[in-house]
Amino acid sequence: MITLQKVSWRQVLIALGVILMAVAGYFIWQHFHQPQPVTGESQQQAETPVGVELAAKNAHIGMLQSQLNEAAKQIAELKNKTPDTIIKTVPVEVIKTVEVERQKSGADFAIVTDPKQLDKQVNLKDIEKLPSDTSVTLNQYNVHAYKNVIRGYNVYPRYDGGHLKFNEITADVSRRISKDGKYIGVAAGYDFEHDKAKIGLRYSY
């Protein structure tokens, strides 16, 4: 036998109050933890997986260890070459200029370093406070954690009487829907064995 307990208005109001407080707390947390797509680091730090991970976390981007290792390796290889972008601007425009360049490249986040002082930690807020006639030059490394769009092709071959034939061929295109590399898209193809076309949804993670 199931016994139903009567819920009072007071209990309902308390539960509603707890929910509203939790929602308000979440929005307050979000307000004070906005993504920072640009991180200033020393060149030495930027060349390490730990340095790349710091910048990724600041941008609220999740990356695998293999991705962190590869990004750090690429930054290290660029040390004696021309970086993705060399920022030359006045102090007050530094953050704006770096962000514009990051968006133009489609990067998930960017790391900026001082090319003249490889062991110096770059602080963009401090640079903004420099005298307006100060010339600022920074190296900018744009990091693409995940592609915005991915495409794929699938072929299903088989041998029939010593001849190579194709049972099915499909193609798909997906767009990223999350910062940690989840994608959703469409797939279409043709089934030669049953002589019919097919189309469907694709979810990748």
In a domain, 115, yes or no: yes
What residues make up the domain containing 155? 149-204
Does residue 138 share a domain with residue 42?
Answer: yes
**Do both 165 and 127 map to the same domain?**
no
155, 119: one domain:
no
Q: What pLDDT, on a 0 to 100 scale, did the predictor assign at position 202?
A: 86
Mean pLDDT value across residues 93-118: 90
Q: Do 94 and 167 belong to one domain?
A: no
Residue 26 is predicted with a pLDDT of 58
Whether residues 183 and 200 share a domain: the answer is: yes
The tens digit of pLDDT for each residue in 61-101 reads 888 898 999 999 999 988 777 666 677 788 888 888 899 99
pLDDT, one tens digit per residue, over 137-189 is 888 999 988 877 888 888 888 877 778 888 898 999 988 887 777 888 999 99
Shared domain for 130 and 164, answered yes or no, is: no
Q: Which band of pLDDT confidence, cut at 50, 70 and 90, is reported for residue 205?
A: confident
What pLDDT does 29 receive? 54
Domain boundary residue, one of 122, 143, 164 = 143
166, 192: one domain: yes
Per-residue confidence (pLDDT) for residue 146, from 0 to 100: 80
Boundary (domain end) residue, out of 114, 143, 172: 143
Do 60 and 157 share a domain, yes or no? no
Q: Is residue 18 part of a domain?
A: no
Domain count, the chain: 2
Global pTM?
0.63
What would the pLDDT profile of 16-34 be if each residue is shown by its tens digit? 777 777 776 656 655 555 7
167: in domain: yes
Nearest-angstrom CA–CA distance, 102 and 105: 5
48 lies in some domain: yes
